[in-house]
Structure 1
Amino acid sequence: MDQDTLRILLREAVRETVAEVLQTVLELDRTAFLQVHGGRRNGYYPRKLETAFGQVDLKVPRDRESRYYPAFLKPYARRLVDVGEVAVALYAAGVSQRKAAEILSLLLGHRYSHETLSALTDQVLEAAGAFRTRLLPEEMAFVYLDGLSLKVFREGEGIVRESVYVALGIAPDGERR
């Protein structure tokens, strides 16, 4: 048996094990929910979920009153790994979108187009921009300021030094912002 065949068989075995573990976690989660909140079991519905080891088919349990939802699954999410975070990390490291699409297809076993990665990156950068321009409260009990210098890849410029400033404020009620 050659190494490629062995690698494929091993990846498939790991994917099946991940599917079995996730299915067990779903069952235990529903049982715990029903013990606390009461109610009765009401079958399953199918769901595909992309993991780091490939796509797995799950039977998501439900209850009769439709109050239960698995704790570790986000509604309508189809990926256990946040592709947006991985895409932004690759983008920040200076990896092209086409190369990032290839890397993600190797890591997740699913092909993402460079257009999809571009849309994900734009969405995350838009959220970061909204965070940066939000209004801050007028009063702070303490303010901690710091900064560091990093090497960053800029298209057309190569690697340049950028300063990253960190500001941490403690409100009078003790909340960190």
Structure 2
Amino acid sequence: MDQDTLQVMLREAVRQTVTEVLQILLDADREAFLRQHGGRKNGYYPRKLETAFGQVKLAIPRDREGKYYPSLLQPYARRQVDVGEVAIALYAAGVSQRKAAEVMSLLLGHRYTHETISAITDQVLEAAEAFQKRPLPEEMAFVYLDGFFLKVLREGLGVERAAVYVALGVTPKGERQVLGCKIAFG
């Protein structure tokens, strides 16, 4: 398999992960809205959204009274700044939840509470842990290993370059799956 095909496979795996994270964020946002304003859930409606990783299909949550609209989406907008990515980046940089809420409010023009930031980071961390503990398929036709470098802020150590190793598997049916990833510091 050539480098271009591998890049397409990795991009698709990232797009699927972005879809999952955005869906988690939308559900957490509705929960926060209902806790603050009351009301009840009322299902979802479909919407396509262009992200930096390609088009994703989302199920937008709604409430019975029709008062809720996701704070991380602009009405009728079809492009999105990933709020979860911003929240996780701030959290990873060691910014407190209250300060992260202030920064996101300034950057994105919407007021976020520290409780919302906490819920977002908790759900994303839970999803990451579930991903790491999921059972792997017993059979793979191919397994590709690749890596890239990131700058990572380590508590008490400052910014360091870290290698991120990614294992990508292809099942006998041709389905692509990210099997795992590992961060290694030099």
Scaled by the length of structure 1, what TM-score is found?
0.52
- Matched residue, 2:47: 71
1:106 corresponds to = 106
- CA–CA distance in structure 1, aligned partners of residues 47 and 90 of structure 2: 29
Q: In the TM superposition, what is the alpha-carbon distance from 1:95 to its structure 2 partner?
A: 4.2
Match of 1:115 in 2: 115
Q: Secondary structure at the match of 1:167?
A: strand
Q: Give the direction of change, closer, same or farther, for the CA distance of 1:110–1:146 in structure 2 (3 Å limit).
A: same
1:145: which partner in 2? 145
* Counterparts in 2 of 1:134 and 1:165: CA distance versus 1, 3 Å: same
Give the structure 1 partner of residue 167 of structure 2. 167
Change (3 A) 1:157 1:110: same
How big is the shift at 1:69? 4.1
Distance between the aligned counterparts of 2:161 and 2:173, measured in 1? 37
Q: Taking structure 1 as reference, are residues 107 and 115 closer, same or farther at Cα in structure 2, changes over 3 Å only? A: same
In structure 1, what is the Cα distance between the partners aligned to 2:92 and 2:155?
A: 11
SS of equivalent to 2:167: strand
Q: Which amino acid aligns with 2:159?
A: I
Alignment partners' CA distance in 1, 2:88 and 2:165? 20
Structure 2 spans left out of the alignment, 5+ residues: 1-28, 30-43, 49-58, 63-68, 74-79, 178-186
Aligned residues: 111
Deviation at 1:158, TM superposition (A): 2.0
CA apart distance, 1:128: 1.0
Question: Residues 71 and 93 from structure 1, CA distance in 2 versus in 1: closer, same or farther, beyond 3 angstroms?
Answer: same
Tell me the amino acid that sits aligned with residue 47 of structure 2: A
Q: Find the aligned partners of 1:69 and 1:123 in 2 and give their Cα distance.
A: 22
> What root-mean-square deviation, in Å, do the aligned CA atoms of Structure 1 and Structure 2 show?
2.8
Pick the structure with more strand per residue. Answer: 2
Q: Matched residues, percent identical?
A: 71
Secondary structure in 1 aligned to 2:136? coil
Q: How does 1:126-141 map to 2 (within 5 A)?
A: 126-141=126-141
Between the aligned partners of 1:146 and 1:86, the Cα distance in structure 2 is: 25
Report the residue type matching 1:118 in the other structure: S
The C-alpha deviation readout for 1:4-40, integer Å capped at 9, x for no partner, is: xxxxxxxxxxxxxxxxxxxxxxxxxxxxxxxxxxxxx
Could you list the runs of 5+ residues in structure 1 that have no partner in the other structure?
1-49, 51-67
Correspondence for 1:31: none
- The Cα offsets for residues 56-99 of structure 1, whole Å up to 9 and x where unpaired, read as xxxxxxxxxxxx94635602352316533331133345544333
Q: Once the two structures are superposed, what CA deviation does each residue of 1:90-132 show, in whole Å capped at 9, x if it has no partner? A: 3345544333212211233332223331221121011011112
Higher relative contact order (CA 8 A, sep 6+): 2
